[in-house]
C-alpha cells in the first residue's frame, strides 16, 4: 500500500508512506481528521480496498434481520441469515428496526457491512468510536476472525482504539510518520530479574522541556512511555522528555510503586483505576488521572501484576 | 457491466420495505386515487376528457418521479449508496432494482385510479402503451432529479420544476394565442397524453393514435439514455 506525498503551502502535510501489508495483519494509523480524509482519498480502487467511513449510515426502516438478508443477497453469499445473526450476537434484536436500536448497537450493525466485503483490504475509519464496551468486544471478535483472510487498516485519532485490534501502530502528524513500539516481548524478562533493586538515592526524575530542566517527584508521575526510542514522562496530561532509558527508570522507580506493565511502558500503580480486558490476550490499564489515560498491559505482565496487587 | 437479477431483486425488496415504511413518502401512493375520486366527483369525468389526463400527468410527477428521486437521494444522504458501490452490486443493478419498484408501484396505483375514475380509452392498447412509456419516462426524470439532490429534502423540492414543466404544459395551450412561442409545449409528453386521451371513441384512425405515442416514445428513449449516462457518470466519483 502506497500513499503519495501531499503538500500544503509548500509544506509537507502528508509524507510519502509505504506500508508492506502481509495477509492477516492489521495496521493502525493514529492521525487527525484532515489526514484521515487524505489517506482514504488515495484508496479509491474498489477491487482492492473496502472503505468504511465514519459517516456511514444505515437503512433506518429495515429490521436487523432484513438488513442482514439484504447484505447477504446483494453480495451473493451463500450464508443463512439466522446463522449469521447468531454469530453477530444479534439474535435478540433481529426483529428490531435499525432506527429503534441504541446508538451503539446501530453503529455496530452498520459496521457489520465490512464483514460482507469481498476486497482483500479493509479500511476502517474510527470503528470503535461510537461503540460501547460490549459491542466493542463483539466487533473486535469479528475483526479477529476476518483478519485470518484479510488485512486491515484502521484510521483513528485514539491510541486506545488502535491498540484494541492492531498489530502495528503508526502515528502520523506534523512530525511525520512513525511507528509506535507496542509489541509484546519476552526477551526483556530475564534482564529485569537480574537487576538489583536497592537504588533509592535518587529522589527526582530529571526531564527536559523547551530547554528547561524540570524535576518531578516520582509520585507525581502517571506513566512513562517509550516512543521511537525517546522516553516521555507523562504528568497530569502533559509529557516531558527524559534522558534515561526505560530499564534505568524501572530500577529507580521500583520502590515507589511503579511497574513495567509493557515493553514500552512503566506505570505508577498508585494511579491505576481499572484493568480492562479486551480479549483473553489483550489488556489495558486505565488511570484515574484527570485526563482519561489508558496504558497497554502485556499478557506476560498480567500475572506479575496480579501477584503484586494480591489479586 | 454485469447485471445480476439476484442483486437487483435484493435491492427491489429492500427499497420496497424502506419506501412502504417511510410514511412521509408512501402517502404519495394514495395521491392519484384521491385525485381520481375528486375529479370524478366534480362531475368533470364525462364532460372533459382532458381531466383524466390531468390526473395522470400530476400522478406521474408526484408519484413516479418523486418516488424515484427520493429513493436515490435517500441512499446518497445516508452514504449507503457509496457503500453499495463497494459490494459486487453494479450501478445498473441498483438502478434496475429501484426503477422496477417504482414502475410496479405506479402501474398498480394508476390502474386503480383509472378503474375508480371510470375512464374508457378509445383504444386500450394505445392507452396502455402510453402509460408504460410515460412511467419509464418519468422514472428517468426522477433519476435525474435524485442525482442532482443530496438529501431527501432536495429531492422533494427538485420535483417542483418538473411539475411546472411537465404537468403544467397542457395548460400552456391557453397562452398560445398571445404568445406563439408556447406552441412548443404541445410537444411535451403530457400535452400529447391529453391529445391521446381526448380521441373520441368513434371515427379515429391509427395515425391519430400513433402520433402522440411516437412523440412520447422519443421522449422516453432520449430521457432514459440521458438518465443512465448521467447516473453512471455521477456515481463514478461516489
Same-domain pairing of A172 and A200: no
Same-domain pairing of A65 and A10: yes
The CATH number of the domain where A123 resides is what? 3.40.50.300
Q: How confident is the model at residue A21 (pLDDT cuts 50, 70, 90)?
A: confident
Q: Which residue has the cell 402509460?
A: B131
Same-domain pairing of A69 and A207: no
Q: Which residues contact B54 (CB under 8 A, 6 or more apart)?
A: B39, B167, B170
Same-domain pairing of A234 and A260: yes
What is the DSSP code string of chain B?
Answer: ----HHHHHHHHHHHHHHHHH-HHHHGGGGHHHHHHHHHHHTTHHHH-THHHHHHHHHHIIIIIIHHHHHHHHHHHHTTHHHHHHTSS--HHHHHHHHHHHHHHHHHHHHHHHHHHHT---SSHHHHHHHHHHHHHHHHHHHHHHHHT-SSHHHHHHHHHHHIIIIITGGGGGGGTTT-GGGGGGGGSHHHHHHHHHH--SSS--HHHHHHHHHHHHHHHHHHHHHHHHHHHHHHHT-
Residue A200 confidence (pLDDT): 47
Per cent of chain A over pLDDT 70 is: 92
What's the domain range around A24? 2-180
Domain boundary residue among A148, A180, A212? A180
Same-domain pairing of A9 and A46: yes
What's the domain range around B164? 5-236
Checking if the pLDDT of A190 tops 60, the result is no
- The whole-model pTM stands at 0.73
Same-domain pairing of A154 and A25: yes
Q: Mind listing the pLDDT tens digit for each residue in A195-205?
A: 555 444 556 77
Spatial distance between the Cα atoms of A126 and A162, rounded to a whole number of angstroms? 9
CB A182 within 8 A of CB A296: yes
Checking if the pLDDT of B21 tops 50, the result is yes
Q: Where is pLDDT greater, at B134 or A286?
A: B134
Question: Chain B partners of A113 at a C-beta cutoff of 8 Å?
Answer: 83
B59-84 mean pLDDT = 91
Tell how strand A272-279 and strand A265-268 pair up.
unpaired
Same-domain pairing of A152 and A198: no
Domain boundary residue among A140, A157, A180? A180
The CATH number of the domain where A261 resides is what? 2.40.50.1020
Residue of A nearest to B18 (CA): A61
Domains: count for chain A: 2
Q: How confident is the model at residue A288 (pLDDT cuts 50, 70, 90)?
A: confident
Residue of B nearest to A55 (CA): B79
Q: Do B80 and A73 count as a contact with CB atoms less than 8 A apart?
A: no
Question: Chain B partners of A56 at a C-beta cutoff of 8 Å?
Answer: 79-80, 83
Same-domain pairing of A239 and A294: yes
Tell me, what's the ipTM? 0.85
Same-domain pairing of A283 and A201: yes
Same-domain pairing of A172 and A194: no
Same-domain pairing of A237 and A272: yes
Tell how strand A17-18 and strand A151-156 pair up.
unpaired
Per cent of chain A over pLDDT 90 is: 17
Domain boundary residue among A138, A157, A180? A180
Residue A202 confidence (pLDDT): 54
Residue A301 confidence (pLDDT): 83
Q: Do B80 and A119 count as a contact with CB atoms less than 8 A apart?
A: no
Question: Pick from B6, B83, B88: which is nearest to A113 by CB?
Answer: B83
Domains: count for chain B: 1
Same-domain pairing of A154 and A201: no
Among the listed ranges A100-114, A160-174, B88-102, which one has the minimum average pLDDT value? A160-174
Q: How far is CA B175 from CA B55, B81, B180, in A?
A: 21, 44, 8
Q: Mind listing the pLDDT tens digit for each residue in B136-162?
A: 999 999 999 999 998 989 998 988 998
Q: Which residue has the cell 446463522?
A: A83
Q: Mind listing the pLDDT tens digit for each residue in B208-222?
A: 788 888 999 999 999
Per cent of chain B over pLDDT 90 is: 37
Amino acid at each position: 500500500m502506497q500513499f503519495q506525498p501531499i503538500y500544503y503551502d509548500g509544506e509537507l502535510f502528508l509524507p510519502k508512506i509505504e506500508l508492506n501489508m502481509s495477509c492477516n495483519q492489521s495496521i493502525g494509523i493514529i492521525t487527525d481528521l484532515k489526514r484521515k480524509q487524505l489517506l482514504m482519498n488515495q484508496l479509491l480502487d474498489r477491487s482492492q480496498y473496502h472503505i468504511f467511513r465514519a459517516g456511514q449510515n444505515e437503512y433506518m426502516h429495515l429490521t436487523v434481520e432484513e438488513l442482514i438478508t439484504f447484505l447477504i443477497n446483494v453480495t451473493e453469499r451463500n450464508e443463512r441469515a439466522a446463522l449469521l445473526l447468531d454469530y453477530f450476537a444479534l439474535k435478540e434484536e433481529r426483529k428490531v428496526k435499525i432506527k429503534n436500536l441504541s446508538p451503539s448497537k446501530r453503529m455496530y450493525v452498520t459496521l457489520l457491512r465490512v464483514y460482507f466485503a469481498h476486497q482483500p483490504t479493509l479500511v476502517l475509519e474510527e470503528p470503535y468510536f461510537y461503540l460501547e464496551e460490549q459491542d466493542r468486544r463483539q466487533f473486535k471478535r469479528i475483526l479477529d476472525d476476518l483478519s485470518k483472510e484479510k488485512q486491515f487498516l484502521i484510521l483513528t485519532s485514539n491510541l486506545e482504539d488502535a491498540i484494541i485490534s492492531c498489530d502495528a501502530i503508526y502515528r502520523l502528524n506534523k512530525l511525520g510518520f512513525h511507528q509506535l513500539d507496542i509489541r509484546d516481548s519476552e526477551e526483556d524478562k530475564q534482564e529485569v530479574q537480574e537487576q538489583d533493586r536497592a537504588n533509592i538515592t535518587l529522589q527526582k526524575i530529571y526531564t527536559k522541556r523547551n530547554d528547561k530542566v524540570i524535576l518531578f517527584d516520582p509520585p507525581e508521575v502517571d506513566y512513562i512511555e517509550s516512543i521511537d526510542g525517546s522516553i516521555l514522562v507523562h504528568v497530569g496530561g502533559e509529557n516531558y522528555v527524559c534522558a534515561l532509558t526505560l530499564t534505568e527508570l524501572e530500577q529507580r522507580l521500583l520502590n515507589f510503586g511503579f511497574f513495567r506493565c509493557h515493553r514500552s511502558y512503566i506505570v505508577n500503580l498508585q494511579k491505576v483505576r481499572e484493568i480492562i480486558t479486551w480479549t483473553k490476550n489483550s489488556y489495558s490499564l486505565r488511570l484515574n488521572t484527570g485526563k482519561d489515560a489508558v496504558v497497554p498491559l502485556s499478557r506476560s505482565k498480567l500475572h506479575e501484576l496480579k501477584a503484586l496487587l494480591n489479586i | 457491466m454485469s447485471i445480476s437479477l439476484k442483486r437487483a431483486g435484493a435491492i427491489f425488496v429492500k427499497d420496497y420495505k424502506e419506501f412502504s415504511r417511510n410514511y412521509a413518502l408512501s402517502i404519495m401512493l394514495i395521491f392519484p386515487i384521491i385525485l381520481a375520486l375528486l375529479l370524478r366527483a366534480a362531475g368533470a369525468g364525462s364532460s372533459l376528457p382532458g381531466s383524466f389526463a390531468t390526473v395522470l400527468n400530476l400522478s406521474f410527477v408526484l408519484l413516479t418521479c418523486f418516488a424515484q428521486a427520493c429513493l436515490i437521494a435517500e441512499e446518497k444522504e445516508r452514504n449507503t449508496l457509496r457503500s453499495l458501490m463497494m459490494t459486487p452490486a453494479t450501478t445498473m443493478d441498483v438502478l434496475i432494482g429501484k426503477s422496477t419498484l417504482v414502475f410496479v408501484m405506479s402501474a398498480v396505483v394508476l390502474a386503480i385510479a383509472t378503474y375508480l375514475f371510470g375512464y374508457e380509452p378509445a383504444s386500450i392498447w394505445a392507452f396502455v402503451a402510453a402509460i408504460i412509456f410515460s412511467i419509464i419516462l418519468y422514472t428517468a426524470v426522477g433519476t435525474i432529479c435524485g442525482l442532482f439532490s443530496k438529501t431527501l429534502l432536495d429531492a422533494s423540492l427538485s420535483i417542483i420544476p418538473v411539475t411546472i414543466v411537465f404537468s403544467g404544459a397542457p395548460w400552456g395551450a391557453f397562452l398560445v394565442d398571445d404568445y406563439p412561442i408556447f406552441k412548443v409545449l404541445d410537444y411535451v409528453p403530457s400535452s400529447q397524453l391529453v391529445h391521446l386521451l381526448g380521441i373520441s371513441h368513434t371515427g379515429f384512425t391509427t395515425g391519430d393514435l400513433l402520433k402522440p405515442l411516437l412523440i412520447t416514445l422519443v421522449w422516453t428513449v432520449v430521457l432514459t439514455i440521458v438518465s443512465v449516462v448521467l447516473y453512471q457518470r455521477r456515481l463514478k466519483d461516489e
